[in-house]
Amino acid sequence: MSSSNPELYNRLGKKSAGANDAAKPEEPVKVDGFGQVIQLLQVADDEFRESLLKRLTARDPELARQLRAYLARL
């Protein structure tokens, strides 16, 4: 794959036909960032969870506080 002519893939990992393809456009993918992070943290082991939250605290303390508070209620 060349950087000047990247291959395009849809969200299912299937190669797209290209920009000139008249195929029906895909529906947008809904992203619930907070919910997805909560799901990730729920299944993560304790060490990984704490590591991630510690790094997040350095970048966005309020978000880290909200995540910790939400996880404490579960």
pLDDT digits (tens, 9 = 90+) for 28-63: 767 678 898 999 999 999 999 999 999 999 999 999
Q: What is the mean pLDDT of residues 6-31?
A: 62
Using only the alpha carbons of the chain, give its radius of gyration.
19
Distance CA(4)–CA(70), nearest Å, equals: 44
Rounded to whole angstroms, the Cα distance separating 60 from 33 reads 14
The pLDDT of residue 26 is above 60: yes
The token pair at 1 is: 């794959």
CA atoms of 58 and 53, how far apart (whole Å): 9
